Structure 1
């Protein structure tokens, strides 16, 4: 039986946030001496829940990154269209991260976090502290290649660990099939096990979010709500811009007229908006591609690869969240710290999970925040309002997926005249159901 909207996991977490903030605010307004004692009890409960998510970050990121890159590199080597698609996806992911690194600080300068809210939230989350030592550019360069990957994992040094996992994944794609399949199966099993643990922790999410929200409400009052709404607007704006950029990608790269692309992709956007899942939107993306004249021989390679590995809005919106937290805590980020964030945001997108945002929110953003020295404690509150930014994430990803399919097909010289038997059968099937 399908769950109703009221009992869905995102709704329960959001409800826990609202109730926690409200009860915390009302408790603070009562002026009782017991309020701070209650906050002192609730704070470690929320902290334990956040640590439960945090303990899965390193093994899950490494495992998914190795599997994603190994299988993506293998697919790219096996097919011309896959190779072009993969290269285009990598370029867009890096653009997404670099764009956020330039756009979000400018946006936050124009529309800063409300000062009163930021101060109140910093006081409420007193245990979340940024790093005290700011890395120099030389430190950034030295940290790129780890001298000891195990030590990097043990110390949560995310950037060198990501670089090692990336190199390992590409190397894995070049060894004999028997050994490659064994190692990929091993890392996939680790990832699946970690996802089970994440789902267990998220099942307890309402408790953890309620505890943290009560602390924030008791210590920050109504200022917390304003900061959360401001966060939604800032992060969503990044997704909206990347969504808009998919149209010129299709027009310029795929040689598709703007009205035609807009009409073809609209049904896929509607499915993405309602499901918040690129995977669930894949069938409609294939139909949208067919309306653009892209044969299934091309879209049937590019789109599944995109659903598995490519999330155009991911680097930009994930980095935006980390940059927002940095301003929230009054951090002056150095160029080296932002560069670390860009690298980790662009690469770890290959380890992202194709599931609704609440499942992967902390796991996607925490590595970026850790690499930049930004505290991850606030993520436990921001996860509760991820539903709205996740709408723009999914719609933006789906729109860019179809644009990449059109561009890769055009660059590979594949047009409607290259459609084969599989395309003819798909067209006949759709005519029969019309």
Structure 2
């Protein structure tokens, strides 16, 4: 299991208390924002101007840790896949994860395009929208820009796609060096791995500290947006939530069910047997925390340990279908709310960035929000002004969306293990039907 697994074992009680505090902050901030009149004054200053910096601080804290999180998580995640396991079973699993991740981000964008969350919210900034459209690069340029000419320059500038590409190359190279028969190379590679492993643990400790401030930040962000937009904000958030969960349901009932039927298995049997893992994931909001339950479900399905022992831990690190649906829906919500038109190349960038970012997404509270920040930055949408307000709205309901994200991620891992076992003719059909 990768290092990413380790820092997902935060106590469930602590996560539950944080969730409760965030929900309370969401409700209080929203209610007070709607109750108090706009430009409510305290002395010579408006209440909004007093509260706004507390929300801005939360956004700045998230932006501060974004690049280090990407670097550490991607290098550890990609270097944890042992090259000797990247044979037929590993190849099938990774190909399956890649295809379903592509489908899930496309589904998220499709659902958001149909239901247009945020369209009537009017947080627009016309000058930013025009600037964004005028500077949109061509699709060919986007592909070229994925490969950095100077990775350290990309890190300094915060250019997301080049950072991701370099980290993947570095991580895969590190994996091969760790498996080298040359003891010098192997020891040196393990030292580098230990360094990034330690960096990763440090960064996720900082994430937990930042999330302790989350209730204050969420309160401030929700107060500002509801004080300015009132009921329109509530309607938009409801639309986002419904659109997102609809995408999750379609992914399970259409895509995962089609996979089961394609390999000659009953989708209803699969859903029945994976239900304990789905419920655990929904409550705990931790893919790796749910891993023992998912493995138990795999045993009950008749999947041999030689298959699920590799497919499930890798999936818990790189397979994030729920997260990619979330990224598609929420990115379009923010663009709609702020009046920022997205071009075809922007949609392509969202797809590529979401797929690559999924590898580095860790199951800690707030990780999905960090990946959303990453995707926004990749298409040139800077999180400031009206964009920061729209982003803050998503942060306010992120805990609710996170339940759905984890639920989908775990289900995707399970269906991948079923697919690999069945196509390798290693699935115990009697156990499956029992």
Q: Does 1:385 align with 2:397?
A: yes
Deviation at 1:325, TM superposition (A): 0.8
Distance (whole Å) between structure 1 residues aligned to residue 82 and residue 273 of structure 2: 30
| Match among 357, 370, 373 for residue 377 of structure 2 | 370
Q: Write the deviation string for residues 55-107 of structure 1: whole angstroms up to 9, x where unpaired.
A: 10011111111111121253633x54233222221222222223333443233
Look up the match of 1:46: 55
Q: For residue 162 of structure 1, give the secondary structure of its aligned residue in structure 2.
A: helix
Deviation at 1:23, TM superposition (A): 1.8
Look up the match of 2:4: none
Look up the match of 1:396: 408
Look up the match of 1:423: none
Distance 1:242 1:180, change over 3 A: farther
Q: For residue 374 of structure 1, give the secondary structure of its aligned residue in structure 2.
A: coil
Deviation at 1:408, TM superposition (A): 0.7
Deviation at 1:226, TM superposition (A): 1.6
Look up the match of 1:426: none
Look up the match of 1:113: 118
Q: Give the TM-score normalised by structure 1.
A: 0.85
Q: Write the deviation string for residues 217-237 of structure 1: whole angstroms up to 9, x where unpaired.
A: 332223222221111112222
Distance (whole Å) between structure 2 residues aligned to residue 348 and residue 171 of structure 1: 19
Distance (whole Å) between structure 1 residues aligned to residue 349 and residue 12 of structure 2: 42
Contact (CA 8 Å) 1:129, 1:375: kept in 2 or not?
Answer: no
Look up the match of 1:139: 141
Distance (whole Å) between structure 2 residues aligned to residue 55 and residue 293 of structure 1: 45
Distance (whole Å) between structure 2 residues aligned to residue 286 and residue 230 of structure 1: 35
Distance 1:131 1:183, change over 3 A: farther
Look up the match of 1:351: 360
Distance 1:217 1:99, change over 3 A: closer
Look up the match of 1:87: 95
Contact (CA 8 Å) 2:105, 2:324: kept in 1 or not?
Answer: yes
Distance (whole Å) between structure 2 residues aligned to residue 35 and residue 250 of structure 1: 64
Contact (CA 8 Å) 1:17, 1:213: kept in 2 or not?
Answer: yes
Look up the match of 2:104: 96
Look up the match of 2:262: 252
| Match among 351, 354, 368 for residue 342 of structure 1 | 351
Distance 1:43 1:366, change over 3 A: same
Look up the match of 1:360: 367
Distance 1:273 1:188, change over 3 A: same
More moved, 400-409 vs 95-104:
95-104
More moved, 209-218 vs 329-338:
209-218
Look up the match of 1:431: none
Distance (whole Å) between structure 2 residues aligned to residue 337 and residue 142 of structure 1: 15
Look up the match of 2:150: 148
Look up the match of 1:432: none
Contact (CA 8 Å) 2:146, 2:162: kept in 1 or not?
Answer: yes
Contact (CA 8 Å) 1:295, 1:418: kept in 2 or not?
Answer: no
RMSD (CA atoms): 2.8
Look up the match of 2:172: 170
Distance (whole Å) between structure 2 residues aligned to residue 388 and residue 44 of structure 1: 25
Distance (whole Å) between structure 1 residues aligned to residue 14 and residue 109 of structure 2: 38
Give the 4+ runs in structure 1 shifted more than 6 A.
126-130
Look up the match of 2:8: none
Distance (whole Å) between structure 2 residues aligned to residue 337 and residue 61 of structure 1: 21
Gaps of 5+ in 1: 420-434
Q: For residue 21 of structure 2, give the secondary structure of its aligned residue in structure 1.
A: helix
Distance 1:106 1:218, change over 3 A: closer
Count of aligned pairs between the two proteins = 406
Q: For residue 279 of structure 1, give the secondary structure of its aligned residue in structure 2.
A: coil
Deviation at 1:32, TM superposition (A): 5.0
Q: For residue 324 of structure 1, give the secondary structure of its aligned residue in structure 2.
A: helix
Deviation at 1:410, TM superposition (A): 1.9
Look up the match of 1:266: 275
Distance 1:251 1:290, change over 3 A: farther
Contact (CA 8 Å) 2:105, 2:328: kept in 1 or not?
Answer: yes
Q: Write the deviation string for residues 172-202 of structure 1: whole angstroms up to 9, x where unpaired.
A: 2222332322222222222211111111111
Contact (CA 8 Å) 1:66, 1:166: kept in 2 or not?
Answer: yes
Distance (whole Å) between structure 2 residues aligned to residue 188 and residue 131 of structure 1: 37
Q: For residue 80 of structure 2, give the secondary structure of its aligned residue in structure 1.
A: helix
Distance (whole Å) between structure 1 residues aligned to residue 270 and residue 96 of structure 2: 19
Q: Write the deviation string for residues 367-398 of structure 1: whole angstroms up to 9, x where unpaired.
A: 11111123432333312212332222222222
